[in-house]
Structure 1
Amino acid sequence: MKSKILFVLCLLTGLMFINAGLNKFFNYMPMPKDMPESMMKLMQAYATIGWLMPLVGAAEVIGGLLLIIPVTRALGAVVLVPVLTGIVISNISSSPSALPISLVMAAVVLWAIIENWQKYLPMVRK
């Protein structure tokens, strides 16, 4: 039962990351009208660095796809950790109202890492 719950949560989280990553390439989702001014400035600053948003978008799409597939879930979680760290930090500093959903996504990725901890051991063993 626990593995089915984890699969559903990873599926939903992976789809959210895929959607967010594709939006960085195709800009099909409008910016919310009630977005705080500090977050708008932050997004504009990110946009001035031409290569940053495509890189983050690619990491989100690839990480989301890997997170959905049970065999590659451990790799997907590792790919998403830096992206998710940036999301949580920017939500803490600029848009606390969006923090709960990013913390839920972080919890799902952390759960995926904990469930697959044995796959990471060869990287740290001598």
Structure 2
Amino acid sequence: MTSQGNTSGSLVDRLGGGAVALARLCSIVPFVYLFVYVGGAFLIPKSLGPAWVWLQRGVVSAAIVCLLVLFLQNPRPESRPAGLTHAMAISFMLVLPAIVTGYWVGVFGALVTPVLVLCSAIWGKARRA
């Protein structure tokens, strides 16, 4: 029989561990929560509608901020853990959960980290050339 701690630890390991796992979760959780958001929208009372929308916006905002902090901690591609560049580059997926709630700050914010990752990769290649 396995303990709960071992199960969650192996999940983090399967996601790449440490910063890579966090970046992947920041890209996956808001996207998956989108299904909860849409399904719950039919079940909650109309008076809780604005709070429900802002909850999804909060999830997207937290993911964007977390990815930005991860980029600021690892700005150079050569010093990033393996897989972190890819995990941060695919964070453009956060655009969809932001669009569904009409959160235009989130739409543009979701594109910041992938653009920064692209710019840092170009800068790194130009510096090595």
TM-score relative to the length of structure 1? 0.35
Computing the radius of gyration over CA atoms, which structure comes out larger, 1 or 2? Answer: 2
TM-score relative to the length of structure 2? 0.34
